[in-house]
Amino acid sequence: MIEKIISWSIHNRFFVWVGIVMIVIGGVYSIYKTPVDALPDLSENQVIVFTEWMGRNPQIMENQVTYPLVSNLQGIPQIKSIRASSMFGMSFIFVVFNDDVDVYWARTRVLERLNYAQKFLPPGITPSLGPDGTGVGHVFWYTLDAPNYNLGELRALQDWYVKFALQHVEGVSEVASFGGFQKQYQVSINPYKLLYYNIPMMDVAKAITANNKDVGGSLYEFNDAGLMVQGLGYIENIEDIKNIGIGSYKSIPVKLSDVATIQMSSDLRLGVTEINGQGEVVGGIVVARYGENARDVIRRVKTKMKDVEKGLPEGVKFKIAYDRSDLILASIGTLTDALWQEILIVSFIVILFLFHVRSGLVAIISIILSVLIGFILMSLFGITSNIMSLGGIALAIGDVVDPGIVMAENAYRSLTDYAIKKKPA
């Protein structure tokens, strides 16, 4: 079979050159179009369902949230397994699909089933889907460097300005904030004062909720003009909370400040984030979308950060904590160095022992074409260029080198012997 292929190639050089040109074009195109990442994505094809119900213990979360959701998600087609975890105030469900299932089709089917399962959950509880990223999607970390700002101000800046700006970058699935303090109004109620004024606890909660919203009115006609009526009632400061009426005692209005202490504080923290032991920091984690080119996503995020930095307060700057593009470039550089080094070594050995430049070119061209064919197959099978795949190509070059040298030497010797026999005496 091999002899027939070699014979056909010798007698059809034009088609051989056409095949070589097609391999070169396809290989170069695949190199630029194949997604590049540092780490291979070995995570499962899964959709995460997250439900939050703060203040409830894990047993309640398991019985009233996790179990009803898992029971209703089991009928989705193409599911491999469903795993769930219940913890204090939170429920996580991991719906694992078959590997050949499109991730966005899977998310759509899960979302359809969640709409049906909503009626089995307690009132006010809404499950949500996790980001359309993978376990290796954390491609870029940054922090906000601002010595003259406290952690609460930096976290507010991250949540309400930086996060929204970076989430619009193409290929970004989510920007997760970390560190700092999340500001909130805290109402610490004195139960003895509630008992003295005979005001139920539920009335206090309803009063705070009812006094923190805008309402719309009708039209008010004035001088042949219609004026829109709107009631503005959102809470803007602590004084607005203190003046909320919660009832009456002996015909005297009772305000929230009469039975509680109102202050600006932070949400409960279960940990801290610091960098290099130099103190706490505030920042964000950029999660790349499923199937995106990590290097391109990082480059677009960095470009967007330059524009966002213009709108930051004076003294606030971005500081990169983790950038996977450095590892990606190092991986590509390793493959490039290995390729050129082995090509030079093969050329030197072939030319040194055979004293024949054309034989060396045969081995060199075979190595380059083998690498290009590898990239074409990677593109066809959807394999990203990462440490494992690029390392495999670098190792495979060594396997291509040996037969290249042996075959070139054998062909050269056979042609030499044939020429000697044909030479007239």
Condensed to tens digits (0 to 9), the pLDDT of residues 170-192 reads 999 999 999 888 888 889 999 99
Q: What is the rounded average pLDDT of the residues 365-375? A: 84
The pLDDT of residue 301 is above 90: yes
Average pLDDT, the chain: 85
Q: Which of 13-17, 32-36, 239-243, 304-308 has the lowest mean pLDDT?
A: 32-36
pLDDT (0 to 100) of residue 403: 75
Q: What is the rounded average pLDDT of the residues 113-125? A: 89
CA atoms within 13 A on the CB side of 368: 17
pLDDT (0 to 100) of residue 350: 67
Task: Render pLDDT for 136-160 as a digit per residue (tens, 0 to 9).
Answer: 888 999 999 888 888 888 998 999 9
pLDDT (0 to 100) of residue 423: 64
CA distance 192 to 257: 14
Read off the pLDDT band of 209 (50, 70, 90): confident
pLDDT (0 to 100) of residue 181: 87
Q: Which of 249-253, 278-282, 393-397 has the lowest mean pLDDT?
A: 393-397
Read off the pLDDT band of 307 (50, 70, 90): very high
The pLDDT of residue 220 is above 70: yes
pLDDT (0 to 100) of residue 383: 80
The pLDDT of residue 351 is above 90: no
Q: What is the rounded average pLDDT of the residues 66-72? A: 92
Q: What is the rounded average pLDDT of the residues 344-371? A: 75
Q: Which of 41-50, 200-209, 398-407 has the lowest mean pLDDT?
A: 398-407
In terms of pLDDT, which residue wins out, 199 or 5? 199
pLDDT (0 to 100) of residue 366: 80
In terms of pLDDT, which residue wins out, 318 or 381? 318
CA distance 330 to 41: 18
Write down the domain spans for the chain.
2-37+328-422, 44-132, 183-266
Domain 2-37+328-422 has CATH 1.20.140.10: no
The pLDDT of residue 12 is above 90: no
pLDDT (0 to 100) of residue 255: 92
The pLDDT of residue 199 is above 60: yes
pLDDT (0 to 100) of residue 95: 94
Give domain 183-266's CATH architecture: 2-Layer Sandwich (3.30)
Read off the pLDDT band of 65 (50, 70, 90): very high
Domain 44-132 has CATH 3.30.70.260: no
